[in-house]
Chains A and B, each alone.
Chain A
Amino acid sequence: MNFLTRRSFLQGTSLGAGTALLAPMLQRLHAESAGAPAPRRFVFVVEGNGVNPEQVQPKTIARKRNGQNQNDADSLVDLPLAEHELPRALEPLAEFKDRLTILQGLSGRVCGGGHSNNFGALGCYSSKKGAAGETIDCALAKAVPALFPRVGLGISDRAEHSIIYNLSAWGPDKAAPIQCRPDLAYNELFGSVAQGAGREDFVARGNLLDFMVDDVKRLERTLPATERERLGSYLGAFESMKDRHSRLNEIQNTLRAKAPVVTDKFRSEVETDRLDAGFDIGAAALIGGLTNVLVLASGCGDPYFSVRFQGLGIGLGKHGIGHGQGFDGRPWDELAITIRRFHFEQMARLAKQLQAVPEGRGTMLDNTVIVYLSDAAESHHSRCWEWPMVVLGNCGGRLKTAGRYLNYPRYGHAAHRTTANFYLTLLAAAGVHRDTFGLSDPNLKDVKLKGPLPELLA
């Protein structure tokens, strides 16, 4: 990575270039140099198929459990993390302990549970019928626009899945992709500076978009006014993609500096390699100013979750591990924690990359929040009584996440809260104030389901 500061880059290049169409990043840098606040960034690291609350629970903090091993806390538990040791899975985040909140006890019963809640995990609804509504990443993307409103990268259980649609949505029936092929994701984001085949793809895509804009316009001229409107939306789609494509070309210099180095990992058969590459591309997309919302999805969605983490020496899919099978003499829980730990290592790496880029008086990390959660809540066959999360960063001081352990009281308790409340907190941090997100849990009649979590919102 090139650690040229963003401001010096601005002064050195873009103003001199004096282009009429400044890319959003350049506009933002310009705004920043003029005293405007830095953009807020949101990253979701979503691991497929459930995270047992105990695996992210500090050993020295006891949790009250009921007979069914569910959260049974009588009141909100709010403790400083500094006094407690992180569990093994979370150790990679030790150096960020003072920016970290372990968030326990939020429920998401409206999602329904199972191996995965698919769109429901980020959308707070049952996704039995697919994308029933907007998910939180897409909602945030609308609030913090960028050249790519949202970038979704990840892995599936099978290497041949190039793209999957099971986690994010712009609205009902408007699924947003998780790009599972790092090389294709790279071409899409950094194709303008790619070499060889990647560059060819980029150029061909540009030509295709030009051709389509021209062709649709040609037809449009022959249509009656009413249908011109209908075709207008199709034309607008190509124009918008073409526009983005040209902008990517215009900011080649920036992208060349920020693009990740293409390695063998981009086409690797090994899941951990591809996820690693996804994190690299995602980090570069944030640092290059291409997006402010990043989703990193590791085997999310049914039936994509049963990833075999062979890079960690685990030749058994998550489904088997979830059903208590061991591998190579290692019991299921050790395997699960090893996999978890790998994800937190990636998350720590991303945080360090952002921390290394100066922004305003601090670094990019200061204006970012990274949220770790699973698409399946608390277990392999989840029921969403609770949904463990790990939150890193305070999004420009808008969140109170500095070294905390928070555990909300049991389901049904008046002070109980849901994942929707947490998502409303993120929205509030993005400047969007809403009362509700997704569906409200009809069984929580006596619980305050509206608005953000005051404990977390600065």
Chain B
Amino acid sequence: MRVTFVRLICLLLCCSAQAAPSGFDTAVRPFLAQHCVKCHGEQKQAGKLALHQLDGSLASEKAREVWARVAEKLWLGEMPPEDEPRPSPHASGRVVNWLTAEFARAGHPLTPPPALELPSGGNRVSHEALFAAKAGAGTPPPATAARLWRVSPQIYDELLRGELGKNARGVTQPFAALTVEGFKDFAGAFTVDEPTTSLLLRNADAIVASLTRFSYDEGKFKPAGNTPRELVSLMDTNAPPTEAQLRAGVERQFKFVLRREPTEAERTRFVAFLRQNIADAGQVTGVRAALAAVLLLPEAIFRSELGAGEPDAHGRRMLSPRELAGALSFALTDRPPDRPLQTALDKGQFAATRESAEHEVRRMLADDSLAKPRILRFFREFFGYHLATEVFKDDKDNKDHEARVLVSDTDRLVEFLVAQDRDVFRELLTTRKAFVNFAVDFKKKTPKRASENKKNFHVAYGLPADWQWTAEQPIELPAGQRAGILTQPSWLVAFSMNFDNHPITRGKWVRERLLGGTVPDLPITVDAQLPNTPEHTLRQRLEVTKAEYCWQCHQRMNPLGLPFEQFDHFGRFRATERVQDKEATAANVDSKGKSRGPVFKEAPLDTRGVVALTSDARLDGEVTDPLALMQKLADSERVRQVFVRHAFRYWLGRNETLADAPVLQAADRAYVEGGGSFKALLVSLLTSDAFLYRVNASQPVASNPPLKPDRP
């Protein structure tokens, strides 16, 4: 997180002209007076904190301690408390900006809480502020801070699978992704540490060894098949390499790994390195070590997005053609630019402009032969249904459960709706269509059953046991049972417990991903346990969370998750809930009085829920069941905009800031005007200023005022 901190410091140092010490009297003191001293002042010192005597000086350690607490609370939007009048996001932001600048000036840098840099911190920017009519006014035009983005595990996998790594033995994935549920690849989330570097080093050794395999046959040098001539010929100890061969080897390796020619300086440096290595470590070992170095160059490990050329009036520089080509390609695929783009790049025919970016995005989207795994991955990471395979279910409770196939069915549905490209998000939330046990034969390209083993797998979708599988999919599921991804068995299983539903995590998901709200982490002092009363329904057992202390948070989750009680924990539609019959169980004993096991009975099902605390009156209200809930959410402008915000995060690899408001609004507009076109949304994001422009951290970056969270 030091990286962020430096960015902020640089940013705020340059803002410090506006936030001179006098800023205390104009921006900070009035804020404290209005929002803080009532509880942290002369009369009352809640949390043993008094702010009324602060004079804006950070000279003493004590003062810095107090101010750091203030900054953190404002950053996270945890103060003032919810039941007090809320300051505007800008007002809070000004105080934190002032503080950050003053801390930097005092030589004691202030670090923002890590949560703000990660996907989980995204919703803390006010939704209303982002989508307000004059949003963005007073902030610099959108741009992203110049950055190095560590390649993702998937990009590295492609490298290992591709021409470069396919013959290498003993290579291993060196990179980790974010482990929490949600988006996995954020630009600011990763650095490369020593254990990772040692893995990269070993992989580089193994890859180069595989590219330079050879043997000697009666003293005659024999390159192994499929090894690049320019590389393997350097191994021939009968003919020590000439200058020209060394240069050719360096060029080949650069083209291979970095997909570009080395510069003359690089060529010279690498040839010198090869020579030194050969002298010190012998021809074979020396050459291999030098070639391995190309695989370790920062350019091979990090995606460069620094910007190039002359900065515009706002200090923004457009990505270089090579950077832009890479960024566009990695937006949709896990591979470097495809042949048409690479060729254009090599010939100098790809210019870094908004128009050429749009042309390439549209071309790639239209090219069905180009695999674009990043699109499906977005929906997986957004919805999280693929996590169904991680939830252990006992076979004996449902022999027909196969999470893997439930997930691939939902994948197919997402792909289908994205391909239709009409009202995509609404359809994702409301469709009754589904793919059931559906796969496409890899070779024949014809539909087939995804699983042959589970005869009644389709029952999970509410289909009758005698339903006949069909190649004509998607099919319509029985009326009145399903509405979109959140009612697909995959999603329901992904957000379930081993033996029961999980209304809390389901509600949390809806709160965060669809309503754009936040839910605090479970306090470590809380030992969250539901009562072990199998004679009660899950809704009844959840009553325990209505205790005042628990309800503060649970009111944001449970009422949104409970409508999904319409389904059992395998995702099967049900009309009643099975609970233990206490009396019958007590009576169910053998002649020796030993229990013969529990006896169950059916209890009435209650699927009511409430959408509340959204700060959108059109959205708040009660719902009778999951279908009504999904309809309500799908009808909401706000919910759609929250989806757009998530798409922004995924494709920009960072959280949005207030300065990004115009980008978000344009993306939302493009989506709506395109008739709910996801492609239009993508084109808008990938040709936005935020995607195309970079600012140096010493320039005012997309102003990132820490804002009040969007707490309903």
With A162-B170, A215-B297, A226-B7 as contacts: A201 and B285 at CB distance below 8 Å: yes
> B248 an interface residue at 8 Å Cβ cutoff?
no
With A173-B176, A227-B3, A237-B193 as contacts: A212 and B296 at CB distance below 8 Å: yes
* Chain B residue nearest in CB terms to A227: B148
Q: Is there an interface contact between A225 and B280, defined as CB atoms closer than 8 Å? A: no
* Chain A residue nearest in CB terms to B197: A237
The 8 Å CB contact of A230, one of B148, B199, B290, is B148
In the assembled complex, how far is the CB of residue B417 from the closest CB belonging to chain A, in whole angstroms?
A: 29
Q: Is there an interface contact between B292 and A208, defined as CB atoms closer than 8 Å? A: yes
> B628 an interface residue at 8 Å Cβ cutoff?
no
The 8 Å CB contact of B170, one of A163, A204, A224, is A163
Complex Cα spacing A200 to B278, Å: 10
Q: Work out how many contacts link A and B, with CB atoms closer than 8 A.
A: 135
In the assembled complex, how far is the CB of residue B237 from the closest CB belonging to chain A, in whole angstroms?
A: 12
Complex Cα spacing A207 to B698, Å: 35
With A203-B280, A241-B197 as contacts: A227 and B170 at CB distance below 8 Å: no
* Chain A residue nearest in CB terms to B11: A226
Q: Which of A98-154 contact B (CB under 8 A)?
A: 128-129
* Chain A residue nearest in CB terms to B206: A162
> A197 an interface residue at 8 Å Cβ cutoff?
yes
Mask, B258-289, CB within 8 Å of A = 1, is 00000000000000010011001110011011
Q: Given the complex, which residues of B lie within 8 Å of A174, measured CB to CB?
A: 176, 193, 195-196
With A225-B6, A226-B145, A234-B197 as contacts: A207 and B281 at CB distance below 8 Å: yes
Q: Is there an interface contact between A224 and B196, defined as CB atoms closer than 8 Å? A: no
Q: Given the complex, which residues of B lie within 8 Å of A175, measured CB to CB?
A: 195
With A237-B193, A237-B197, A240-B194 as contacts: A173 and B147 at CB distance below 8 Å: no
The 8 Å CB contact of A223, one of B273, B282, B306, is B306
Q: Given the complex, which residues of A lie within 8 Å of B296, measured CB to CB?
A: 208, 212
Q: Is there an interface contact between A237 and B281, defined as CB atoms closer than 8 Å? A: no
Mask, B190-211, CB within 8 Å of A = 1, is 0111111111011000100000
Q: Is there an interface contact between A204 and B289, defined as CB atoms closer than 8 Å? A: yes
The 8 Å CB contact of A234, one of B147, B191, B199, B697, is B191
* Chain B residue nearest in CB terms to A170: B195
Complex Cα spacing A391 to B418, Å: 60
Complex Cα spacing A207 to B696, Å: 34
Q: Is there an interface contact between B192 and A233, defined as CB atoms closer than 8 Å? A: yes
Q: Is there an interface contact between B193 and A233, defined as CB atoms closer than 8 Å? A: yes
With A162-B170, A173-B176, A233-B191 as contacts: A238 and B148 at CB distance below 8 Å: no
The 8 Å CB contact of B280, one of A129, A207, A219, A230, is A207
Mask, A223-254, CB within 8 Å of B = 1, is 11111111111101110110000000000000
Task: Tell me which of A163, A173, A219, A230 has the highest count of chain B C-beta atoms within 10 A of its own C-beta.
Answer: A230
Complex Cα spacing A387 to B7, Å: 50
Q: Given the complex, which residues of B lie within 8 Å of A232, measured CB to CB?
A: 191
> A176 an interface residue at 8 Å Cβ cutoff?
yes
Complex Cα spacing A246 to B273, Å: 19
Q: Is there an interface contact between B281 and A227, defined as CB atoms closer than 8 Å? A: no
Q: Is there an interface contact between A211 and B148, defined as CB atoms closer than 8 Å? A: no
Q: Is there an interface contact between A161 and B146, defined as CB atoms closer than 8 Å? A: no
> B345 an interface residue at 8 Å Cβ cutoff?
no
In the assembled complex, how far is the CB of residue B361 from the closest CB belonging to chain A, in whole angstroms?
A: 26
Q: Is there an interface contact between A224 and B191, defined as CB atoms closer than 8 Å? A: no
Q: Is there an interface contact between A204 and B179, defined as CB atoms closer than 8 Å? A: no
With A211-B293, A212-B293, A227-B306 as contacts: A165 and B172 at CB distance below 8 Å: yes
Q: Given the complex, which residues of B lie within 8 Å of A215, measured CB to CB?
A: 293, 297-298
Complex Cα spacing A280 to B293, Å: 32
> A172 an interface residue at 8 Å Cβ cutoff?
yes
In the assembled complex, how far is the CB of residue A20 from the closest CB belonging to chain B, in whole angstroms?
A: 23
> B455 an interface residue at 8 Å Cβ cutoff?
no
Q: Given the complex, which residues of B lie within 8 Å of A233, measured CB to CB?
A: 191-193
In the assembled complex, how far is the CB of residue B177 from the closest CB belonging to chain A, in whole angstroms?
A: 8
In the assembled complex, how far is the CB of residue B314 from the closest CB belonging to chain A, in whole angstroms?
A: 16
Q: Is there an interface contact between B195 and A204, defined as CB atoms closer than 8 Å? A: no
Task: Tell me which of A162, A207, A238, A240 has the highest count of chain B C-beta atoms within 10 A of its own C-beta.
Answer: A207
* Chain B residue nearest in CB terms to A235: B298
> A457 an interface residue at 8 Å Cβ cutoff?
no
Q: Given the complex, which residues of A lie within 8 Å of B146, measured CB to CB?
A: 223-224, 226-227
The 8 Å CB contact of A226, one of B3, B193, B280, is B3
Q: Is there an interface contact between B293 and A208, defined as CB atoms closer than 8 Å? A: yes
The 8 Å CB contact of A197, one of B4, B192, B285, is B285
> A328 an interface residue at 8 Å Cβ cutoff?
no
Q: Is there an interface contact between B277 and A204, defined as CB atoms closer than 8 Å? A: yes
Q: Is there an interface contact between A129 and B390, defined as CB atoms closer than 8 Å? A: yes
Q: Is there an interface contact between A204 and B176, defined as CB atoms closer than 8 Å? A: no
Q: Which of A182-226 contact B (CB under 8 A)?
A: 197, 200-201, 203-205, 207-208, 211-212, 215-216, 219, 223-226
> B681 an interface residue at 8 Å Cβ cutoff?
no
Q: Is there an interface contact between A219 and B298, defined as CB atoms closer than 8 Å? A: yes
Q: Given the complex, which residues of B lie within 8 Å of A231, measured CB to CB?
A: 148, 298, 302
Mask, B142-178, CB within 8 Å of A = 1, is 0001111000000000000000000001101000110
Q: Is there an interface contact between A234 and B298, defined as CB atoms closer than 8 Å? A: yes
Q: Given the complex, which residues of B lie within 8 Å of A95, measured CB to CB?
A: none
Task: Tell me which of B172, B277, B285, B696 has the highest count of chain A C-beta atoms within 10 A of its own C-beta.
Answer: B285
Q: Is there an interface contact between B286 and A225, defined as CB atoms closer than 8 Å? A: no
* Chain B residue nearest in CB terms to A112: B392
> B91 an interface residue at 8 Å Cβ cutoff?
no
Q: Given the complex, which residues of A lie within 8 Å of B192, measured CB to CB?
A: 233-234, 237
> B301 an interface residue at 8 Å Cβ cutoff?
yes
Complex Cα spacing A72 to B302, Å: 56
In the assembled complex, how far is the CB of residue A39 from the closest CB belonging to chain B, in whole angstroms?
A: 22
Q: Given the complex, which residues of A lie within 8 Å of B172, measured CB to CB?
A: 163, 165
In the assembled complex, how far is the CB of residue B56 from the closest CB belonging to chain A, in whole angstroms?
A: 26
Task: Tell me which of A211, A223, A241 has the highest count of chain B C-beta atoms within 10 A of its own C-beta.
Answer: A211
Complex Cα spacing A230 to B5, Å: 12
> B2 an interface residue at 8 Å Cβ cutoff?
yes
Complex Cα spacing A223 to B698, Å: 11
Q: Is there an interface contact between B6 and A226, defined as CB atoms closer than 8 Å? A: yes
With A163-B170, A205-B289, A207-B281 as contacts: A229 and B193 at CB distance below 8 Å: no
Q: Given the complex, which residues of A lie within 8 Å of B306, measured CB to CB?
A: 223-224, 227
Q: Which B positions have Cβ atoms within 8 angstroms of A? A: 2-4, 6-7, 10, 145-148, 169-170, 172, 176-177, 179, 191-199, 201-202, 206, 273, 276-277, 280-282, 285-286, 288-290, 292-293, 296-298, 301-302, 306, 390, 696-698
Which 5 A-B pairs have CB atoms at the shortest separation, nearest pair first?
A173-B176, A237-B197, A233-B191, A204-B289, A204-B281
Known: A175-B195, A227-B306. 18 other contacts (CB 8 A): A176-B195, A204-B281, A207-B289, A208-B277, A208-B290, A208-B293, A208-B296, A212-B296, A224-B306, A224-B697, A225-B7, A226-B3, A230-B147, A231-B298, A234-B192, A234-B298, A237-B192, A237-B193
29 A-B residue pairs with Cβ-Cβ distance under 8 Å, sorted by A, are A160-B170, A162-B170, A162-B206, A170-B195, A172-B179, A173-B176, A174-B195, A197-B285, A200-B285, A201-B281, A203-B281, A204-B281, A204-B285, A204-B286, A204-B289, A208-B292, A211-B273, A215-B293, A215-B298, A224-B145, A224-B696, A225-B6, A226-B10, A227-B146, A228-B6, A234-B298, A237-B196, A237-B197, A241-B201
